[in-house]
Structure 1
Amino acid sequence: MDTVSTQGQLLRWKFAIFAIFFASGLSIATWAARVPAIKVALGIDNLQVGLLLLGSGVGSLIGLSSASFLIARLGTRRAMPTTIVTFALGLVVIGIGTDVAHAYPLVMAGLFLFGLGNGATDVMMNVEGAAIENHTGKTLLPMFHGLFSLGTVAGASLGALAIRLDFSVAAHASIMAAVICVAAVLAYTNVPRSAVEAPEATGRSTWRDRLALTLEAWKDPRTYGIGLVLLGMSFAEGGANDWLALAMVEDHGTTEALGALGLATFSVSMTVVRLFGGPLVDRFGRVAILRVLALSATTGMVLFILAPSVELVFVAAVLWGAGVSLGFPLGMSAAADDPARAAARVSAVATIGYVAFLCGPPLLGLISEHIGLLNTLYILVALAIISGLASPAARESKPTAKPTSVE
């Protein structure tokens, strides 16, 4: 098994995972920024947009559930390039379905591939990020997720630029897909074989035993406590990614470009807190930080719903983005507190978080057809409050064993 024995190897490993987080965020914001254009091009309503998102959610569920099998069978170093190319291909198909074929089913197929690849990749990159965090002994997952947020900032900003330059969805999506594929190359060339994929690291001899260890995490009550933290924050984050721009255009009367800029503002706020929030967590602890941020998210979403001016909508986006910033990374850190069980618990908790992140927004679309999009966002407010109340589950705990590998 390869080991990370030099600083150079560690830096390359970090760089590769940073790039993968960035690519995932880039892909999601690329899709989100073009939702209004796709809606117009296909002549569909919010219900049909919600069904498109449901197709992505179904793909994500399959990707999430298959990630543990892929990790156990192939290891993240070999599996991630395939899953990254899968969601990049999904973007291309979405673009072709929108502008070339003008076919709703083809866009649905693209979103299925998009969800399938992203779902599996999301679990793998969080497992790798947790392994790096355990190896270095530092709170790094917020920074990794900061790169995801930076990817969404770049994606939303490039989306606004593409709209301004009158790029078609197909051209825009294809360019972004090519950029994303670079991350697949970095994953294969710089991610080491690690404890994540090495059966001998846990005393297990076969990949089936590794799968059994993964399933054991679902018997731990703490998994579900951390899952509630992620549920609320992931719902609120995913809801913003998929519906914030559209809500600004249709309910607050902004232009399509301003809607994309609003999404970029949300993403910038989230990115800043993720990049610089680690020291605050080390000083005040996960629980205190999660409670404060739940309050920020709640305030931001209520303000977004009720804001009487565009200026206040942007203020709301800042509070909303800051509030949801650390829910997912700190949940991952909490799941990885015990290095001996980190991979299994991170996979389980990531599944809960990404089910909310990717499958929640389609449900919001279905509900919005009956009560309106802004009123539907009150569901996110309630879930953010629940997340704050569940934050003690993420309290720091002592590991039962030390990792047996330097990875």
Structure 2
Amino acid sequence: MENAPPDPLVRRHRRALQLCFAIPGLSLATWVTRTPDIRDRLGASTAEMGLVLFGMSIGSMLGILVAAALVARFSTRPVIVAGMCLVAAGVGTMALGTTVASAPSVAFGLLLLGAGVGLSEVASNVDGAVVEREFGRPVLPALHGCYSLGTLIGAGLGVAGAASGFPVPWHLAAVLLLVAVLLAFAVPGLRPGIGRSRPADAGSAGAGSADAGTAGAGSADAGPETAGSAGAGPVVVEQPATGGVRERRLYLDLRLLMIGGVVFGMTLAEGAATDWLPLLMVDGHEMPSGLGSLVYAGFAAAMAAGRFAGGPVVARVGRPVVLGGGALLTAVGIALVSFVDSPVAAGCAVLLWGLGTSLGFPLALSAAGESGPDTTGRVALTSRIGYVGLLVGPPALGFLGEHHGLRAAMVPVLLLMLVAAALSPATAPRPLRTGEPGRGDDARPLRTDGAAGREPVPSRPDRP
């Protein structure tokens, strides 16, 4: 029997997170689908567009690097809200930059957008891990599916705008208005207190002792008593504050680093498509601008389909098989795009590219959250690695594309897909160890093998 969420507030929180994941996807897809028009409006070369994109890289790195500390200090809710406000400010700044054809203004808008995505997505993934534990079944893939759904909507609007010749500044202004409306609906559903740190020596006399704090942010012990199931007041899911020692230990966790290798490769493949696919189709396969944007919409549709429909597949064959197979499928898609001189083959191969990468990020985050204690730290670190691949890595491909062409620039991404496939066994569920700190004998870990809600069997170490 499937675990029921402990409170209607959990369902409301999930709906709010669905919007919070959709907003960055909508905003980024708007930028991506109009990049050929923006490039022409700015009169920029491929290398110069790479420099413009580094605005997003700088902003996303700033957001990613400070997100975990801000969550520990203020909890996830204000970090998500601040990030979303930066996303809106970035879209507005790009609208102004394209109006005056100013590359520095567009780059600054991308900096704000990247910072907002980095802040909000790390915090949203921490929230998603909490909600996932409270539901007792995979939730993060569907939440990331909402990101892809937002991407698909943004891509559809971008294709329509490019085909009709709708002015880019007005298009960006309309998306800004839509982002503001969605944010207004999302914020009330976000519960306060999640992920906030407390002194390590505090709370020992409180109900549930310190273990309740470490369990709350998505660990195996999270339950109604740590999730605010009473229905009144905020949910306070805290982490013991132990300074930088615990984070340094995470960087020494070999299994977590292997999971990070998987997520870096998968998100780089996703980010390469997000930043370059329309230009890759236009410049590399000589497609019209509108058709290049339509190919990107196909990529986004494949991503969304994989994320929404992938749950039963994961339950049947397991997380490592899905991630390894997805990495190989992505490698095939990228190889066809890079080496086959056929626009039709390239357009079809993009569907393999999108489907293969669709579950990489959410499943790797679930694996990181289950890989040991301090789930908030593990999810935050893996999110950080993922967003480096998603937002920072792709601009560097522009410099390769300037000298060797965008099709050749995708070859390093293809090679990283093979590495991700080799590392995918590290994402297998960790065995439940009796007496492990923070994972008592009655702990109920999240199941990704189709057995969500079953009682754990301590005598069978091969069954998490």
Higher mean alpha-carbon deviation, 112-121 vs 180-189, is at: 180-189
Q: Distance in 2 between matches of 1:195 and 1:256?
A: 44
Shift of 1:359: 1.0
**Secondary structure of 1:390's aligned partner:** helix
Q: Distance in 1 between matches of 2:338 and 2:245?
A: 45
Question: Do the aligned residues in 2 keep the contact of 1:214 with 1:343 (CA within 8 Å)?
Answer: no
Shift of 1:286: 1.0
- 1:315 equivalent in structure 2: 348
1:74-89 matched pairs, under 5 angstroms: 74-89=74-89
Question: Do the aligned residues in 2 keep the contact of 1:78 with 1:188 (CA within 8 Å)?
Answer: no
Kindly indicate whether structure 1 or structure 2 has the higher relative contact order, using CA contacts under 8 Å at least 6 residues apart: 1
What letter corresponds to residue 160 of structure 2 in structure 1? L
Q: Do structure 1's residue 29 and structure 2's residue 62 form an aligned pair?
A: no
TM-score (normalised: structure 1): 0.93
Q: Distance in 1 between matches of 2:431 and 2:96?
A: 51
1:8-407 matched pairs, under 5 angstroms: 8-99=8-99, 101-197=100-196, 199=198, 201-202=213-214, 209=242, 213-337=246-370, 340-398=373-431, 400=436, 401-402=438-439
What letter corresponds to residue 18 of structure 2 in structure 1? F
Question: Do the aligned residues in 2 keep the contact of 1:26 with 1:151 (CA within 8 Å)?
Answer: yes
Shift of 1:285: 1.0
Question: Do the aligned residues in 2 keep the contact of 1:94 with 1:106 (CA within 8 Å)?
Answer: yes
Shift of 1:49: 0.6
**Secondary structure of 1:138's aligned partner:** coil
CA 1:187–1:194 in 2, change beyond 3 Å: closer, same or farther? farther
Higher mean alpha-carbon deviation, 357-366 vs 395-404, is at: 395-404
- 2:453 equivalent in structure 1: none
What letter corresponds to residue 165 of structure 1 in structure 2? S
Q: Distance in 1 between matches of 2:113 and 2:151?
A: 15
Q: Distance in 2 between matches of 1:316 and 1:28?
A: 22
Q: Deviations over 1:263-293 (max 9, x none)?
A: 0101111111110111211221111111111
Root mean square deviation, CA, Å: 2.2
Q: Distance in 1 between matches of 2:78 and 2:430?
A: 32
Identity %: 34
TM-score (normalised: structure 2): 0.82
Max Rg structure:
2
What letter corresponds to residue 138 of structure 1 in structure 2? R
What letter corresponds to residue 202 of structure 1 in structure 2? T
Bigger share in helix: 1
Question: Do the aligned residues in 2 keep the contact of 1:215 with 1:344 (CA within 8 Å)?
Answer: no
Structure 2 alignment gaps of length 5 or more = 204-212, 216-236, 444-464
Shift of 1:181: 2.5
**Secondary structure of 1:302's aligned partner:** helix
**Secondary structure of 2:195's aligned partner:** coil
Q: Distance in 2 between matches of 1:149 and 1:66?
A: 25
Shift of 1:135: 1.4
Question: Do the aligned residues in 2 keep the contact of 1:139 with 1:282 (CA within 8 Å)?
Answer: no
Q: Deviations over 1:55-94 (max 9, x none)?
A: 1101100000110121112111122111101011101111
Shift of 1:213: 4.3
Question: Do the aligned residues in 2 keep the contact of 1:83 with 1:118 (CA within 8 Å)?
Answer: yes
Q: Distance in 2 between matches of 1:319 and 1:206?
A: 40
Shift of 1:327: 1.0
**Secondary structure of 2:370's aligned partner:** coil
Q: Distance in 1 between matches of 2:271 and 2:359?
A: 14
CA 1:66–1:184 in 2, change beyond 3 Å: closer, same or farther? farther
Shift of 1:311: 2.2
Aligned residues: 400
Q: Distance in 1 between matches of 2:290 and 2:12?
A: 37
CA 1:208–1:78 in 2, change beyond 3 Å: closer, same or farther? same
